[in-house]
Structure 1
Amino acid sequence: MHTDVNDDLLLQELKSGDTKAYKTMYMRFEKLLLFEASRLLCDVEEAKDVLQEFFIDFFEKKRYNNIHTNLKGYLYISIRYNCMLILKRQKSLQKSQQEYYSSQEEPTVHLEEEQEPTVRDYIDNKVNELLKFMPAQRSKAFQLYVLQGMKRKEVASVMGLSDNTVKTHLATAIKTLREKLS
């Protein structure tokens, strides 16, 4: 049995192709590596998945052939690295989701595509007429954002205003138009 074999001998046995050595290595280091992965990921199930994927990859790609010094250190650092990659992906995904949801919060005017051209023309004319009665900056912000298709930050830059001021102008303009058009 390999349970009291030191790490160097265990590494030699792995390199020689001894499958029992692989099982011994797994039994010896599983708890330590699972603890570290769980601590980093704050999720035991995900940590188990990371550990399982790591050991499969380690065995299939014979990564033990690349170890020349400390088996335990190699395993520990590899698990930490894999966890850091997952955390980086999660952070990137959260950032993407946050950007998506914040872009969805921007005020927009939706005119139905199925409307007949005469109704659409009427609405366009009415909107243009109502814009004349709005304060100049509010009207300009709306025209740049909705009618010319600029992004809110571009409108802010062109007008020399803060992004929040443009957001407020747009929200107020849209609210006014909805009230007047309904």
Structure 2
Amino acid sequence: MEKQPDYELIERLKAGDNAAFDTFFVKYYQMLCLNAYWFLRNEAEAQDLVQTFFIDIWDKKLYLNLNGDVKGYLHQSVKNRCLNYLRKQKLTREQQEDFSMLQDATDKPPETSPDYIRQLNTTLDDMARQKRAAIHLVYVQGKRYQEAADEMGISLNSFKTHLKRGLKLLRHAIIQK
């Protein structure tokens, strides 16, 4: 089978030739899997990501927007998907860690002595305004992170940083009690 230039494959795809997609897949699958593996360091995840990418190309008809040599586009698209995947994994890990810490804290019987409450209130009062607001919006008012961030007029990531730092200060104050 002779190597067919990308522009010909793309034209055949646009014309509705299913065999052109198979050729396109075979031509780039291995290279894109290696590319994804370089970022993910997991062969199965890399293959899944690349297969999902090809499914999107077909289902969403992304090939209609392709022109000429597509190797660079494919490489960059897989790279972006890998980076997004890694970001999502990191966020999931952080949320699981936060949940574990909260779970550990809720497993202990609540402390209600006047000294404990005074220490808690003093720590909250001494805390920077945005950290205190972040804790109040989430834990007192029960708002979701995005809602609270919008109300404070800051980005979601900034909000998470304020909340995380505020909780760290509270934990430190409670432990030192």
Superposition TM-score, scaled by structure 2 size: 0.65
What is aligned with 1:106? 105
CA-CA distance at 1:31 after TM superposition: 0.9
What is aligned with 1:167? 175
What is aligned with 2:67? 68
Q: Which moved more, 1:27-36 or 1:97-106?
A: 97-106
- 8 Å Cα contact 1:106-1:167 kept in structure 2: no
Q: Point out where structure 2 has 5 or more consecutive residues left out of the alignment.
A: 128-168
What amino acid does structure 2 have at the position aligned with 1:50?
A: L
What is aligned with 1:57? 56
CA-CA distance at 1:86 after TM superposition: 1.0
CA-CA distance at 1:40 after TM superposition: 0.9
CA-CA distance at 1:165 after TM superposition: 3.7
Q: Distance in 2 between matches of 1:52 and 1:83?
A: 13
What is aligned with 2:125? 158
Q: Give 4+ residue runs of structure 1 displaced > 6 Å after superposition.
A: none
* Greater radius of gyration (CA): 1
Q: Distance in 1 between matches of 2:88 and 2:98?
A: 15
What amino acid does structure 2 have at the position aligned with 1:22?
A: F
- Relative to structure 1, is the Cα distance of residues 104 and 156 closer, same or farther in structure 2, using a 3 angstrom cutoff? farther
Q: Distance in 2 between matches of 1:30 and 1:69?
A: 18
Q: Among the aligned pairs, what percent are the same residue?
A: 26
Superposition TM-score, scaled by structure 1 size: 0.63
What is aligned with 1:39? 38
Q: Distance in 2 between matches of 1:40 and 1:81?
A: 10
The question of 1:27 aligning with 2:26 is answered yes
Count of matched residue positions in the alignment of Structure 1 and Structure 2 = 134
1:4 counterpart SS class? coil
Q: Distance in 1 between matches of 2:122 and 2:104?
A: 16
| CA RMSD after TM alignment | 2.6
What is aligned with 1:84? 83
CA-CA distance at 1:159 after TM superposition: 6.3
What amino acid does structure 1 have at the position aligned with 2:123?
A: A
Q: Distance in 2 between matches of 1:87 and 1:69?
A: 30
What amino acid does structure 2 have at the position aligned with 1:158?
A: D
Q: Distance in 2 between matches of 1:155 and 1:92?
A: 31
What amino acid does structure 1 have at the position aligned with 2:71?
A: K
What is aligned with 2:6? 7
CA-CA distance at 1:33 after TM superposition: 0.2
CA-CA distance at 1:69 after TM superposition: 4.0
